[in-house]
Amino acid sequence: MNALIGTYECKVDAKGRLLLPAAIKKQLSPVLQNGFVLKRAVFQPCLELYPMSEWGLLMQKINKLNKFKKKNNDFIRRFTAGVKMIEIDSAGRLLIPRDLVTFSGITKDIVVSSAINIIEIWDKDRYEKAIDDATGDFADLAEEVMGQDDGDHEIS
């Protein structure tokens, strides 16, 4: 699957249904019929929407962990806590289960943001706070993560 692109402000209705933005729905169209997995994010109070193919790749990695090591077993349990299979209905909506709404603090206004191969779903206020909190140290983070010279580049 190609990298997803875009950040969109949306609303959730009283039943917890989210109408996917048309641009995201179009990008996901090749995988819409396969379904999705919705889960709690590990590092942020948001949700992650995985196309089933991406979830399968992640599960292949996790399945290689030795389940007879307590920390691996604990990780698997916590990583998969609250995981739900989700389908997009014919109107392009997905239902966010109540426990995941509670975890993420989602109210009415939300942000749907691409994160390479998955979609993050945020409460709008929490998203803006996370972006604002990261602004100050983003340059340092970018240099640390992306600025490493791995020697793969040739000078021409």
CA 109, distance to chain mean position in Å, is 17
| pLDDT for res 46 | 96
With 80 as the cut, is the pLDDT of residue 139 above it?
A: no
Averaged pLDDT of the chain: 88
More confident of the two residues 150 and 129: 129
Interatomic CA distance for residues 10 and 7, integer angstroms: 10
Task: Please give the helix or strand (H or E) that residue 76 lies within, else none.
Answer: helix 70-79
Instruction: Indicate the SS3 state at residue 110.
Output: strand
How large is the average pLDDT for residues 126-151? 77
| pLDDT for res 137 | 75
Joined together, the tokens standing for residue 56 give 């399968």
- Considering only 18-27, 66-75, 143-152, which range has the smallest mean pLDDT? 143-152
Predicted structure pTM score: 0.85
DSSP structural state of residue 94: E
Residue 78 CB contacts under 8 Å (≥ 6 apart), including other chains: none
Domain spans of the chain, in order of start: 7-137
CATH number of the domain at 7-137, out of 2.60.130.10, 3.40.50.300, 3.30.360.10, 3.40.1550.20?
Answer: 3.40.1550.20
Interatomic CA distance for residues 48 and 15, integer angstroms: 19
pLDDT tens digits, 27-49: 888 888 899 999 999 999 999 99
Joined together, the tokens standing for residue 94 give 């997905």
With 50 as the cut, is the pLDDT of residue 79 above it?
A: yes
Asked if 40 and 103 touch (Cβ cutoff 8 Å), the reply is yes
